[in-house]
A and B are shown apart, each in its own frame.
Chain A
Amino acid sequence: MHPSAAEPAIATVRGHTTARTGARWPDATFRWFALLAALTIAALIALVGWELYHGSRLAIARFGLRFLASSTWDPVADQFGAWPFIFGTLVSSLIALLIAVPLGVATALFLTEIAPIKIRQPIIMTIEMLAAVPSVIFGLWGIFVLIPWLRDHLFKWLQELLGFLPLFRGPIYGVSMLAGGIIVAIMILPIVTSVSREILRSVPDLQREAAYALGATHWEVIRIAVLSYARRGVYGAAVLGLGRALGETMAVTMVIGNRPEISASLFAPGYTLASVIANEFTEATTDLYFSSLFELGLVLVAVTMLVNILAQLMLRTLAGGASGKVN
């Protein structure tokens, strides 16, 4: 599909039909501009990397690797540590995955295997619309609709049923790690579902027929021929969802409680890397405070980039290359 194969032809064509010598430089300039534009991608990556590194230098020099393990976050004493935020980010993202991946894969299966053709499109469109809802609106809805419901119903109910587990003990405020996980789950559902759908659609019909020919029921066909075949792709979709979950900022900030605590209870408030940056960046008073926030940003970007690269690698090795670029 590449027109670059036509390139050698250009020189000959131009030499033959246009004797004008001026004809060469507009082409060269145009191409040069286009190249520059494309290279801004590389420049942007370098920019992000540089600014984050430059901004964190002070904190890195002061705290070293202890920063990642320390739980102290004391702006007054100028002592900072990233662990509560790393913990919060990981836990809320994990909760989000545990909710969104099974739901998303099941929905993708529903769409590819079971749903009559007529209702497929409306459901797909609805999921796409869900993807278009901005994080801050989810946060708004989270504060005034989700949190009260969680506090007054679901959490109470969970504590009644499962309160013997440390996960579900402790006071219920509503704003909590679990609320953060739930809202992030809602936000990553569209991408997990859509990438899973692409993966499942790429399973060859011949595999399904092999299972049917053995006398399998529809669900058994899905289990044996579709899900096993698509296993790796589904993992890739999950990792992609994780990448998204790690970076969610606004909605999480509005429902997670924003307290740098480490607790075994899912009902306790938490704090994520993105949230603390969002909340405290404009209030940072000292250079070290600032630099520590930059270092948190550096950690966040490093982890997110690694996860996203992993997801790209996992998904690209599949036939057809589900690129996971759903909005």
Chain B
Amino acid sequence: MMPLPAMPLPSPAHQAWRRFKNKAMSVVMLACALAVIAPLFLVLYYLIREGASSLDWSFFTQLPKPTGEIGGGMANAIVGTLVLLAMASVIGVPVGVMGGIYLAEYGSDRVNYWIRFSADVLNGVPSIVWGMVVYALLVAPFKTFSAYAGGVALGLMMIPLIMRTTEEVLVLVPQGYREAGLALGIARWRIIVVIVVKTALKGIITGILVALARVAGETAPLLFTALGNNFWVHSLNAPISAVPLQIFAYATSAYEDWHRQAWAGALVLMALILAINLSVRVLSRGRKFE
């Protein structure tokens, strides 16, 4: 076979162009990465700059003052958020965890596929729609906005999240544990609760915390369920305040003092969410299985 005629060698100019493109694209990619992380720092910076100075004792202990007056705090909103999160957990945690247990321990492949698929679809439902749905379910028939409705709205949002994370963690528990329990004659449900869930407990808790962090910041579902309240609540069957609601109301108002308080509230909310995320990170660092 004949040797080939020589290929036209790439010109040095072309080679230099290729090298330049290579370097240039690296710079572009770096710039994009910086552009992506910049907003977080910008937001945090302004939160601290605008909000930190307002975080005094009165902010945490006082109620909002009447419209236009300076001062007051978000005590009721902070308590309201905690109350709503507690109620949401009462709904979201048992249903989510039990559902996750079903998917991991009992379900067949086909049923599980559809349930998982539907859970992912539910996760994509805009949060404002949850507000509308729970309004129609719990507010309109009873003719009152309520903490119950708000808690239910947030709780329903938590269910698909917790179900998926629970399932993922349970599936990681080695089969051997279950088989050991079966071989000892322990009842199936006992094996699941005492052995499997206990082993995966850290992961399950992590999943719950992540869901909590997610719904703690939600405003839209509360707009027409909990509605918001400038006073202390004495009944869960009445409108209740929450930090995100207060932030929204204050930020969109015309009063500078309320703007200042909105920043403070946002800082508190962000701190809460970051605290939850931090504890998630700390929990995840330890080994999950013995």
- Are chains A and B touching in the complex at the 8 Å CB cutoff? yes
Residue count of chain B within 8 Å CB distance of chain A: 98
Starting from the known contacts A281-B224, A294-B136, 4 additional A-B residue pairs (CB-CB under 8 Å) come to: A37-B102, A44-B122, A135-B218, A218-B26
* Proximity string of chain B (99-122) to chain A, C-beta cutoff 8 Å, 1 when within and 0 when not: 101110111110000010111111
| B-side interface mostly | helix
CA distance A40 to B270 in the complex (A): 31
**Chain B residues closer than 8 Å to A293, beta-carbon distance:** 132
Q: Please determine whether B251 and A139 come into contact, CB atoms closer than 8 angstroms.
A: yes
Q: Please determine whether A107 and B183 come into contact, CB atoms closer than 8 angstroms.
A: no
For chain A residues 28-61, which have a beta carbon within 8 Å of chain B? 29-31, 33-42, 44-45, 47-48, 51-52, 54-55
B263 at the interface (CB under 8 A from A): yes
**Which partner residue on chain A sits nearest B281 by CB separation?**
A125
A217 at the interface (CB under 8 A from B): yes
**Chain A residues closer than 8 Å to B21, beta-carbon distance:** 217, 219
**Chain A residues closer than 8 Å to B47, beta-carbon distance:** 137, 141
A152 at the interface (CB under 8 A from B): no
| A-side interface mostly | helix
**Chain B residues closer than 8 Å to A126, beta-carbon distance:** 37, 40
For chain B residues 87-106, which have a beta carbon within 8 Å of chain A? 94-99, 101-103, 105-106
A70 at the interface (CB under 8 A from B): no
Among B54-62, B71-79, B209-217, B282-290, the stretch in contact with A: B209-217
* Distance in Å: Cβ of B287 to nearest Cβ of chain A: 19
Q: Please determine whether B128 and A297 come into contact, CB atoms closer than 8 angstroms.
A: yes
CA distance A149 to B26 in the complex (A): 29
CA distance A323 to B125 in the complex (A): 16
**Chain B residues closer than 8 Å to A102, beta-carbon distance:** 32
Residue count of chain A within 8 Å CB distance of chain B: 101
B-binding residues in A (CB < 8 A): 1-4, 6, 9-10, 13-14, 16-18, 23, 26-27, 29-31, 33-42, 44-45, 47-48, 51-52, 54-55, 102-104, 106-107, 109-111, 113-115, 123, 126-130, 132-141, 143-145, 186, 189, 193, 217-220, 222, 243-244, 246-250, 254, 274, 277-278, 281-282, 293-294, 297, 300-301, 304-305, 308-309, 312, 323-325, 327
B64 at the interface (CB under 8 A from A): no
Given contacts A47-B137, A220-B18, contact A141 B46 (CB under 8 A): yes
Q: Please determine whether B124 and A133 come into contact, CB atoms closer than 8 angstroms.
A: no
CA distance A1 to B178 in the complex (A): 11
CA distance A144 to B46 in the complex (A): 9
CA distance A304 to B156 in the complex (A): 18
User: Could you pull out 13 A-B pairs where Cβ atoms are within 8 angstroms?
Assistant: A38-B163, A45-B122, A47-B133, A114-B30, A127-B40, A137-B43, A217-B18, A246-B126, A249-B219, A274-B128, A277-B128, A325-B123, A327-B213
B42 at the interface (CB under 8 A from A): yes
Q: Please determine whether B274 and A129 come into contact, CB atoms closer than 8 angstroms.
A: yes
**Chain B residues closer than 8 Å to A323, beta-carbon distance:** 120
Q: Please determine whether A145 and B133 come into contact, CB atoms closer than 8 angstroms.
A: no
Given contacts A3-B178, A107-B33, contact A13 B185 (CB under 8 A): yes
Q: Please determine whether B42 and A141 come into contact, CB atoms closer than 8 angstroms.
A: yes
**Chain B residues closer than 8 Å to A304, beta-carbon distance:** 124-126
Q: Please determine whether B132 and A294 come into contact, CB atoms closer than 8 angstroms.
A: yes
CA distance A26 to B192 in the complex (A): 12
**Which partner residue on chain A sits nearest B95 by CB separation?**
A37
Q: Please determine whether A109 and B29 come into contact, CB atoms closer than 8 angstroms.
A: yes
B11 at the interface (CB under 8 A from A): no
**Chain B residues closer than 8 Å to A277, beta-carbon distance:** 128, 132
Q: Please determine whether A301 and B120 come into contact, CB atoms closer than 8 angstroms.
A: no
Q: Please determine whether B270 and A103 come into contact, CB atoms closer than 8 angstroms.
A: no
**Chain A residues closer than 8 Å to B247, beta-carbon distance:** 136-137, 140
**Chain A residues closer than 8 Å to B120, beta-carbon distance:** 308, 312, 323-325
Q: Please determine whether B102 and A38 come into contact, CB atoms closer than 8 angstroms.
A: yes
CA distance A155 to B121 in the complex (A): 37
Q: Please determine whether A37 and B259 come into contact, CB atoms closer than 8 angstroms.
A: no
CA distance A61 to B224 in the complex (A): 25
CA distance A198 to B213 in the complex (A): 24
Q: Please determine whether B218 and A37 come into contact, CB atoms closer than 8 angstroms.
A: no
Q: Please determine whether A51 and B36 come into contact, CB atoms closer than 8 angstroms.
A: no
B187 at the interface (CB under 8 A from A): yes
| Among B122, B124, B220, B251, contact of A41 (Cβ-Cβ < 8 Å) | B122
Q: Please determine whether A38 and B103 come into contact, CB atoms closer than 8 angstroms.
A: yes
* Distance in Å: Cβ of B157 to nearest Cβ of chain A: 10
* Distance in Å: Cβ of A220 to nearest Cβ of chain B: 7
Q: Please determine whether B36 and A30 come into contact, CB atoms closer than 8 angstroms.
A: no
Q: Please determine whether A140 and B185 come into contact, CB atoms closer than 8 angstroms.
A: no
CA distance A113 to B108 in the complex (A): 39
Q: Please determine whether A1 and B214 come into contact, CB atoms closer than 8 angstroms.
A: no
Q: Please determine whether A137 and B223 come into contact, CB atoms closer than 8 angstroms.
A: no
